[in-house]
Chains A and B, each alone.
Chain A
């Protein structure tokens, strides 16, 4: 089983739609969780950290479910500019972060 698993997609949604991605992790001792966004042929950029209580940043909401070992990312009112690959990242121990392979989102007009 992979340490971090994501549905590769692609998720094809119309503008204005709400879309959610899940990411599961295998190590119950994981302590840190992040969502990154990666545009085509660019470096990943931090979208948001994921806290135990959940957190929201504008149209983006991240949730952590420790019991079921998954994190989620909800995007409301999707924009064309949200089209990208979304990477789930989990801190297993020390300073090593493990990246999921990513979920592709395509927002269409």
Chain B
């Protein structure tokens, strides 16, 4: 069965410090990978998604970047954190449906990283 690992679970970082969150998926190949952020009391905001190694799409302009160095590894980074980067960061994976352009398969989330920038 497929599993997704995300770490760390919690993180407290000062403003201006770098960030690196890692996510790995097991039990599937060529998954679609996603980074979401959920601010306190808010909905999920898609930050990045990737359909393959080295292929990253950014949804919103921001202080963050993502990389996919391996098929089942997805990394979220920042060179200098801002206070507004605080939130609950969730990695997720999905597979393609039978028709890539018209079908979405459900997302499966990791346990999340709760980031507090101080």
Task: Report A's interface with B, CB cutoff 8 A.
Answer: 31-32, 34, 41-46, 49, 87, 89, 91, 93-97, 99-102
Contact = CB atoms under 8 A, between A and B. Distances in A.
**B: interface residue count bin:** 20 to 34
A87 B44 contact: yes
Contacts of B96: 95
A31 B46 CA distance: 19
B43 A95 contact: no
Given A49-B106, A91-B104, A95-B94, A102 B49 contact: no
Interface in B82-105: 88, 90, 94, 96-97, 100-105
Interface of B: 32, 36, 42-44, 46, 49, 51, 88, 90, 94, 96-97, 100-112, 114
Contacts of B51: 95
Contacts, number: 58
Contacts of B44: 44, 87, 99
Nearest to A30: B104
Contacts of A32: 97, 103-105
B101 A44 contact: no
A43 B3 CA distance: 14
16 contacts: A31-B103, A32-B103, A34-B106, A42-B111, A43-B109, A44-B44, A44-B107, A49-B106, A87-B43, A93-B101, A94-B104, A95-B94, A96-B104, A97-B106, A99-B43, A101-B43
A96 B49 contact: yes
